[in-house]
Amino acid sequence: MEKEYEQAVKILKNNHQETIIPIMEKLNENKKEILAEQILNIDFKEINFLYDKTKTDYSSNFENIEKIKAINPDDLSIQEINEYLQIGKTAITNGKFCVAIMAGGQGSRLGHDGPKGTFKIDIEENGKYLFELLIDKLRKAKKKYGVYIDCYIMTSEDNNEETVKFFEKNKYFGYPKTHVKFFKQNSTLVIDKNGKIVIGEDYKIKTCSNGNGEIFSSMAKQGIIDEMKRKKIEWVFIGAVDNILLQLVDTMLLGAAIKNKEMIATRTVLKNAPHENVGVFCKQNGKVKVIEYTEMPKKLAEEVNEKGELVFGEAHIMCNLFNIEALEKASTKNLEYHVAYKKITYLDENGILVRPTEPNCYKFERFIFDAFTLFDNILVLRGKREECFAPIKNAEGIDSPKTAKALYENYMNNIKNKNIKK
């Protein structure tokens, strides 16, 4: 053991990462051993690569951008809509469809103590957990289509155990356990503003789940894609855990993708303001691209056409449908990392836990929508915002439990008053 520890210290020194050595020296033998083993497996070249990423200037990357074409369901005839619905229904009843929920994020802005899906929102009589709302949708689909749709839930190293326990405790909210499967996503090292690795509260080198775009390779690594193929599943809807109006079983989107022979389809909503915190669709050099709001140049965000409509107004709301072949193709590619500067808890040089109030570390994330660029086209179907988008991102203010609750109640009232069909 002594040898491994010394080796780890030497490696840290050789790679200019000695900042954590003083903390390591204070640890007991067991913790030292765990840490040394972790350090011996670090790819220090990757750290340099990641640190270089933090210096990337994205502003130069916005040439040849054009508007994307979206289908507006208001422009479709009743016959076309019914045909899409019928095709979608047939695929579901034939067991060709499943869903995947991305629940591996940290939910740092919401600040809920536990996985985001275990957050309870004050709606209905007794409140509803975010996971419960999603399972409710699958139970309704069972009533409508007569089949249990398989549900894959992506967790992270940090929240997997708690998520599984939560489902066990709540008896899977009445859904058969055999139709719910968890899989963990990968993580990547976190570095501070000087490019140094840090130690977390568990006395390990701090890593974080590396973005929802990791879903493809994580699915492949854990045999999920193979399992889907064995089950003859052809379509996978991937949605976020934190949109309480998520149309998890979007029959029309499914039918539209099949009918139009597209490998990927997405539901969008129109952006409600130029600087709303959502990514937007566009085309760059003929390929589909989503520009995340954090990277969107002001000029593009505010550009309007002659009618005063936003040119880049088609918002990505994490409602994406993939054909299994598209999923498989995406799983073989390493999507690009995006950099986020976040508040990360760490141990200082005296081994004291610091909970920063301001961002202090870089996190590296792959985004699901970067997979779109691997394909020539995708089908973009616009949805009505009030029927499919009520995100919970922040504890207060915009996109918070309060705003989501208001949107949800408005939706339920509209159903009650038959303004929209359920």
> Taking CB positions, which residue lies at the least distance from ligand UTP?
105
Closer residue to ligand UTP, CB minimum distance, 108 or 410 = 108
Distances (CA, A) of 94 to 97, 148, 225, 253: 8, 11, 18, 17
Beta pairing partners, 100: 152, 238
What DSSP element (H or E) covers 3?
A: helix 2-14
CB-based contacts of 406, cutoff 8 Å, min separation 6: none
CB-based contact 268:380 (threshold 8 Å): yes
Q: What gap in Å lies between CA 321 and CA 100, rounded to an integer?
A: 10
CB of 183 to ligand UTP, least distance (A): 11
Question: Is the Cβ of residue 153 or residue 380 nearer to ligand UTP in the bound state?
Answer: 153
Q: How far is the CB of 101 from ligand UTP (least distance, A)?
A: 7
Least distance CB 212 / ligand UTP (angstroms): 4
CA 91 to CA 227: how far, in whole Å? 18
- Separation between Cα atoms, residue 44 and residue 47, nearest integer Å: 5
Rank residues 32 and 393 by Cβ distance to ligand UTP and give the closer one.
393
User: Quick count: other Cβ atoms within 10 Å of Cβ 184?
Assistant: 19
Distance in Å, CB of 214 to ligand UTP, minimum: 6
Phi, psi of 148 (to 5 degrees): -85, 115
**H or E stretch at 173:** none
Q: Which is nearer to ligand UTP, 84 or 367 (CB)?
A: 367
State the nearest-atom distance from the C-beta of 210 to ligand UTP, in Å: 6
- Please say which residue, 136 or 157, places its beta carbon nearer to ligand UTP: 157
CB of 58 to ligand UTP, least distance (A): 17
Distance, CA of 131 to CA of 59 (rounded, Å): 38
- Residue 104 or residue 383: which is nearer to ligand UTP going by CB? 104
Question: Which CB, 108 or 414, lies closer to ligand UTP?
Answer: 108
Residues found near ligand UTP in the complex (CB under 6 A): 102-109, 116, 154, 185, 209-212, 240-242, 318, 365, 393
Phi-psi region of 94 (alpha: psi -120 to 50; beta: other; left: phi over 0): alpha
Kindly state the smallest distance separating residue 40's Cβ from ligand UTP, in Å.
Answer: 25
